[in-house]
Structure formats: C-alpha cells, structure tokens
A and B are shown apart, each in its own frame.
Chain A
Amino acid sequence: MRKTREAILKHKALYFIALPGILFFIVFKYIPIIGSVIAFQEYNIFKGFWGSPWVGWSQFEKMFQYSDFLRILKNTMLINFYDLIFGFTAPILLALMLNEVRKVLAQRIIQTVVYMPHFLSWVIISGVFIGLLSPSTGLINTLLNAIGVDSVYFLADESYIRSIIVGSGMWRDTGWGTIIYLAALAGINPQLYEAAEIDGANRWQQTWRITLPTLLPTIMMLLLLQIGNFLDFGFERVDVFLNPFNRENGEIFDTYIYKAGLLNNQYSYTTAIGIFKSVVGLILIVGANFVSRRTTGSSLY
C-alpha cells in the first residue's frame, strides 16, 4: 500500500498525464457496464431503471430455451473463426508480399490502392458485392458462364453467405491491416539480411528465418487483440447481406439483438444475450492470453 503511494508520488507527472485517459475509461466504459443489470429486470423505458421489476435469471433461461439459440451461436462462432483464420492471416501475407516489391513507387501505389476500400461504408460494399454476385449481370457469373458453368444465385443460397461475409470483410480491411506489419518490417535491421546473403541464404530462407521471427511478437499482439473482439463481429457488415434465404447460416447475435431488442423493445432479453456474448469473449481472451504467455512469452498483460 505504502509502496504504491510512493510509486505514484514518484511518477506523479506521468500519472497526471494518464488521468484524462483513465477518466475516459471510467466514464465511457466502466459506468455504462452498470446498465447491464437490466438483464436481470423486465426493463420498461417508462418505468426506468428504478421502477422496472427484477426477474432474476429468467431472461437467461429464456435465451437458452430459445429454439434458434444454438444455430445463432454456431453462426457467430463459425463466422468469427473464419474471420480469424483468413481475415487475420491475409494482411500478414500481403505485407510480406509488399515488402518484396523492389520498386518503391510501385509499392506505394499498391499500398494506397489496397487501403482504399477501408473507407467505404458497408452499405456501399454490399451494393458492390450484390452487383458482382448477381446471377444475370454479375462479373463472377459471367466468368463462370464463360468456362461453361451455370450461373449461381450466390446471395440466395445459405451455403455461400459465410464466405461472402468474411470475404467482403477481407476485401475491405486486408490492405488497412498491413499498415502495422509494414511499419514493423521497416524496423528490421538490414544488416541481418546482408549477413544472411553472405551466408548464401536465398530470399525464401531470409523471409522464413529473419522476417517472420522478427514479426512474430507483433503478430501475437495483434492476434490477442483480435481474439479480444471475438464474437463482437459488428451488426452492419452482416445485416447488409442477410435475406430470408441465407439467414439460416448468416444470422449472428448482433443481428438478432438488433431485431429483437431495438425493433421489438426487448431490452432486458437482448442485454442478457449481450452479456452472454461478452462472457464467452472474456473466457476466450483470458485463455488465449494464457496459452500465448506459455508458448511465445508475449501476452497482453
């Protein structure tokens, strides 16, 4: 206790600088958490927080009894899992490939072009994808027809929806995700490569033995941050692609919460679902952090 006080006094300038940040987290992140208790109420906006009746765990019971609960959980898990596998590795690969581009001008131009989609809204992206995937006028089906394959109605078939959701996310964010890796790559000491070249290592061996190991801490850190957002996939990017014909495999917690909570006034019920989602996410990040600390030595905390 005394030690802490001494430490604070010793570094009082630093703590002072950190104060606004701490306040921000308390006011905008921790205080709103208290609102989650409405999950144990039958919340009515006219009775408010104090007037609404307490109902214990019944909202959670309702959630687990809901016949589509497992389906939505499975969709949420699978889509996030695919996104983690493909959406997370793609920027690493792209950064490595960009790093091998020798002409600086070409590298810069490619970089800028691949960043671009990040600034488009999901509504626009869905428009682009719906156009590309259209069975009669879409580019992809035109190509399929050219090689003698019949048109596929991609968006009306539940077996493609997860790929479309994950793929559109990759199209939008892969370029943007390379920024941090490119910065890390620029920080690698060139002498390492020179030494390797003298030892007779080819470019492939250099990538494998020098670039990847030096990138690993960055990759692990970003992976842990990414896992922290697991299950928190975002509502809009999924909702823009959903229709009754692919809903079976595409609906996730966020879209269900929107439909049942915001559009049908079920605030307590959907808060319960949100809490469930957060708890699962928390377990995942603690677990992954533990594994990461044991295996690679780097961890979030």
Chain B
Amino acid sequence: MKNRKWLIILFLVMLTAIIAGCTDEKGSEETKGEKENESTTDNSFSIAMRTLGTPYVESHPEINDDKFVKEMERLSNTDIQIRLVPHNEYVERMTLMLASNDVPDVLQASGGVLGPELAGGVEAEAFLPLDDLIAEHGPNLLKKIPQEAWDSVTYDGKIYAIPDFLSNPSRRGTAIRMDLLKQTGLDVPQTVDEHLEVLRAFKELGVEHPYQGREKFKYSDTFFGAFDAFPYQYELYEGQVVPKFMAGDKIKDALTFYNTLYKEGLLSQEFLTTQQPEYRSNIIAGKVGIWSMNAEEVNSWEQEIKNNVPEAEIAIIPSPTGPDGKGGHYWYGSTTRSFVINAETKVDPAVIIKFFDWQLTEEAERFFTYGIEDDTYTLNEDGTVNYEVPEDTNLLNAQHYLNRWLWMVKDSTYTQGILELTEEGQELLRVFDEVLINEGRDSIQFTPPLEVYSSHPEISPGSDTPSDIWMTGAAKIILGQEPIDHHDKVIEEWLNKGGTQAIEEATERYNNEDGVQLPRTNW
C-alpha cells in the first residue's frame, strides 16, 4: 500500500515535470517568434511560404539557418525570416494568420490573388497595390514577366502580387513505356483509336494497368483532353458559357471511351479510390503502360523505374488526338504562386520589390540554379560554371529545393541551366519546346470564381478536378452501372443544384467582361 502511494507521487512529479517542460519550450518559442517579427534593420522582412511538399523544406530542422537561405540573404543584401505554412493545411493556416492579425510582411498566395487562402484580403485592401513600386524598383520584373502572368495577379486594374510565372502552360504529358511498345511491334500511337489498340496489346503482354487511373480523374484525364471535354473547363456554346460536359455530345464520346477502357480492363479497375502514392508506385513498379504525368519529372521517374525494371524506357509522346485532330492536357494558369505585400508592413516595400527584382538578375539565376560557389559548383577559368547534376537523392532534393522552391520569381516551366547539362535534360527541353507547347486545352476562367460556387461545393469544379455531382454520375457510366444516356440526368441534377445560376452568372460576366480570362491560344 505504502509502495503504491510513492509510485503515485512519483508519477505526479514526473507529469508536472513534463508539463512544465512543454510549457517552457512553448514559451521560449513564442518569445523567439516575437523577436523575429521585429524588424531590426531596414532590409529585414518576414515571408510566409507554403512548403509545397518539398522534401528538403519539410525535413529541414530550421529553414532560416539553411546555408542556401543565408547565401540568398548575403547576395541580395536582405535579412529574411521565412515562416513555413504546411502544404496540406495551407488555406486554414493562412486564414488563421490573417484573422488573428499575425501577418508577416510578405505572403505567398497561390496562382491568383483572389483565392480562398487570402480570404478576400485584396478586396478589403489588406495588401499593397504594387504598380508604382514595380515601375520604380522592378526593371527586371517588368522586362521578364509576361503580360498573362501580370493579368492573373491584377484586380480592379491594379497589380497586387509578384508572380512566379509559367511561359509554357502545357506541363502535363502523355508518358509511355517505349520498351513495352517495342515488344508489341506497334508504332507510336497518335489518335485515340491507335491508343486503344496499343493499350489492348499491352493487356495481352500482361501489363497490369495499361492506362493508369486515379481518383477524381486527376492525372488520368488524357482522353477527356482528346475529345476536348475536360469536365472542369468552360466554353462558349450556343451563346452561353457552359461546362464542357454540356457543350454538345463530345462528353458522351469521352465517357463511352472510358467505359470501353474499364470494361476491357485497360483502365485500373480501382481508379475511383486510387490515390497519388499508389498511382505513382504502380508506375514505378513497372505495372503501367501509358499514363499522364508532369513532364518535368520524367527523368527522375525513369531512374526509379529502372531500379525495378532495368530495361524500362519512358518517353513523353504527343497526347492522343480526338475528332478535331488535337489533344493534350489541361493548361495551367500563367502563375504558379505569387507574393503579396501586407498593407500594414513596417518595412519599406521598395526593399521587398528590389529583392524580387534581384531574383531575375544573372547573379541570382546562377545562384538559384547551381548553388554556392566552391561548395556545390566551381567556376572554370574562363568564367563558365562547372556543375554536376547529383545522383544522390538528398543532394537532388537540395537542388530541386533551390531551383523550384527558394527561387521565388522565375520562369517556372523548367530550369534551363540544369537541363542543358545532360542528354536526358536536353531531350526534355525538346519535349517542352516541341511537343507540349503544341498541345493542351484551355478554358474560360473567372477570377474571382463564380459566386454561386462558394456555398455549393458539390457543383463546383477544382482547377483540374470535376465537380462531385458530375463525378458521381460519370463514375456510374464508366463502371457500366448506368447507360450513357444517364449523363442527361447528371446534367439535370447539376443544373438543379445550382448549375443554372452558375451558367447565368458565367454568361453575364462573360458578356460584361467582368473578371473573365479567355482561353489562351497563341504562345
């Protein structure tokens, strides 16, 4: 009995110690945070950045102590405190930051400046309009950033953010296992029918998933593109702006095609619940014949497949073409992320603009491409750079982080300086500049998004995912539970649940040219 009493006391003491330890830690963190927010020198500012799932960033114990960040500060003569925003809780964390009035000097927004992560901050004038500042302090920004990208961060005629831009919005490609194709003896397929033939031949070879599917048709909508029927895109049809699944019967052709793929076992049978990790691991394990992917990653994926299937060879081929002789995947926005400046910042905004302007100088390009001199690269006597693309995963992650994440304002299409160095890289440059640039489908887009969507999440599409209601119906057709004419009922349901208002609003805004971006054509 007495023993037990002592045990309890010991337990309580330990508990108190642990609690005290925890609170103490928290306390010191908070004081540290406060210190960081106080700008000590004139060129010091804080910036909130989404981790974007970048492995190097997410596994770093303290990103502000990173050698590349330090070097960036040295070269640009700034003192920056980066605040990381977790990738998966981006919107929640950003709105919390804004609501609790704990706002850093610079915030990273996604593509435009009217997304939910800024919670209407631009309309509420919580961020600085930048036109005059850019005109005065941003000559490189003005010179190098294309007009489309500026348009996407403009609201009410004023620029509100510095865009991380894309010069080529067609980034997803159709990947095929060339080694398997050779085994079938068929030519590189071009039309959807030729693709069907190749997929059937893959099935006969014993390929488990001839075409890899994925939930919500993410990265598995190649054939919707061929029929110009991406269900999340809009177009003008008979005087109204409607979703592409209502523009004529082309969606039925696409769904019939997917139904055929499913029936014959050419599309992964569990695509409705296949998530990203499984989608990727199936491909890496060599179980897939044709799939859709970000072209940029093709070389690293090929490396990984070769670990499992040594003879594997991947190529990005022109996407399957439909009845109009065109095809391709959806076009990304002209801006991948952008940076807004807090209107209540105590820092001179010119410092921040100059920092972003510096990112487009030659000095910055060399740093963000190759890293630190005499550490990650050396200079030859003639002034050219001597850099070797690392093979080690950790070093590759570091390079990826530097090229894509830390380099905040750049042409995000690809990192030219890295791709030029290797043969596969040059091949990828060719894919981007000759294959991808000539394909893809764009949509009529609205910024801010249609009003009716905000309270009707089930009818609203994502940037590359269809609305829930449409997907539920389309899945039944593809799985063969309902005939193709069921699609008429899907449209009816979509219209009844708010779709009618969506079309009215879209058409009215289209006619009034109110926040409308027309499909881009000439790149």
Instruction: Spot the interface stretch: A44-52, A188-196, A214-222, A275-283.
Output: A44-52
Task: Knowing A243-B273, A265-B454, say if A44 contacts B124 (CB, 8 Å).
Answer: yes
Interface residue tally on A, bucketed by range: 20 to 34
Judge whether A68 and B458 touch: CB under 8 Å. yes
Judge whether A243 and B215 touch: CB under 8 Å. yes
Q: Which residues of B contact A130 (CB under 8 A)?
A: 273
Interface residue tally on B, bucketed by range: 20 to 34
Q: Which residues of B contact A46 (CB under 8 A)?
A: 98, 119-121, 124, 126
Judge whether A67 and B497 touch: CB under 8 Å. yes
B216 at the interface (CB under 8 A from A): yes
Q: Which residues of B contact A134 (CB under 8 A)?
A: 270, 273
Secondary structure at the A interface, as helix, strand, loop or mixed, is loop
Judge whether A153 and B270 touch: CB under 8 Å. yes
Task: Knowing A47-B124, A244-B472, A262-B92, say if A153 contacts B272 (CB, 8 Å).
Answer: yes
In angstroms, Cα B230 to Cα A227, docked, is 46
B99 at the interface (CB under 8 A from A): yes
Judge whether A247 and B472 touch: CB under 8 Å. yes
Which of A45, A155, A269 meets B273, CB within 8 Å? A155
In angstroms, Cα B98 to Cα A187, docked, is 54
A28 at the interface (CB under 8 A from B): no
Judge whether B269 and A67 touch: CB under 8 Å. no
B226 at the interface (CB under 8 A from A): no
Judge whether A247 and B270 touch: CB under 8 Å. no
Task: Knowing A44-B120, A47-B124, say if A136 contacts B269 (CB, 8 Å).
Answer: yes
B483 at the interface (CB under 8 A from A): no
User: Which residues of B, 102-161, contact A by the 8 Å Cβ criterion?
Assistant: 116, 119-121, 124, 126
A24 at the interface (CB under 8 A from B): no
A66 at the interface (CB under 8 A from B): yes
Task: Knowing A243-B215, A245-B475, say if A135 contacts B270 (CB, 8 Å).
Answer: yes
Q: Which residues of A contact B269 (CB under 8 A)?
A: 135-136
B471 at the interface (CB under 8 A from A): yes
A12 at the interface (CB under 8 A from B): no
Can you name the residue of chain A whose Cβ is closest to the Cβ of B215? A243
B425 at the interface (CB under 8 A from A): no
Judge whether B454 and A260 touch: CB under 8 Å. yes
A242 to chain B, nearest CB (A): 9
A44 to chain B, nearest CB (A): 6
A18 at the interface (CB under 8 A from B): no
B72 at the interface (CB under 8 A from A): no
A104 at the interface (CB under 8 A from B): no
Secondary structure at the B interface, as helix, strand, loop or mixed, is helix
Interface string of B240-258 (1 = CB under 8 A from A): 0000000000000000000
Interface string of A14-27 (1 = CB under 8 A from B): 00000000000000
A248 at the interface (CB under 8 A from B): yes
In angstroms, Cα B24 to Cα A136, docked, is 51
In angstroms, Cα B501 to Cα A66, docked, is 13
Judge whether A265 and B116 touch: CB under 8 Å. yes
Q: Which residues of A contact B99 (CB under 8 A)?
A: 45
Chain B CB count within 10 A is highest, among A134, A244, A248, A262, for A244
B159 to chain A, nearest CB (A): 20
A263 at the interface (CB under 8 A from B): yes
Q: Which residues of B contact A260 (CB under 8 A)?
A: 454-455, 457
Judge whether B455 and A266 touch: CB under 8 Å. yes
Q: Which residues of A contact B119 (CB under 8 A)?
A: 44-46, 265
Judge whether B273 and A264 touch: CB under 8 Å. no
In angstroms, Cα B456 to Cα A269, docked, is 12
Q: Which residues of A contact B86 (CB under 8 A)?
A: none
In angstroms, Cα B215 to Cα A259, docked, is 18
Which of A66, A136, A155, A247 meets B455, CB within 8 Å? A66
A293 at the interface (CB under 8 A from B): no
A153 to chain B, nearest CB (A): 7
In angstroms, Cα B126 to Cα A80, docked, is 42
Judge whether B471 and A45 touch: CB under 8 Å. no
Interface string of B419-459 (1 = CB under 8 A from A): 00000000000000000000000000000000001111110
A156 at the interface (CB under 8 A from B): yes
Judge whether B468 and A244 touch: CB under 8 Å. yes
A interface residue numbers (CB < 8 A to B): 44-47, 62, 66-68, 130, 134-136, 153, 155-156, 243-245, 247-248, 256, 259-260, 262-266, 269
A sample of 7 cross-chain residue pairs with beta-carbon separation below 8 angstroms, ordered by A number, consists of: A44-B120, A46-B119, A46-B120, A135-B269, A243-B272, A245-B471, A265-B116
Closest 8 CB pairs of A and B: A46-B124, A244-B471, A45-B99, A156-B272, A244-B468, A259-B457, A264-B454, A265-B119
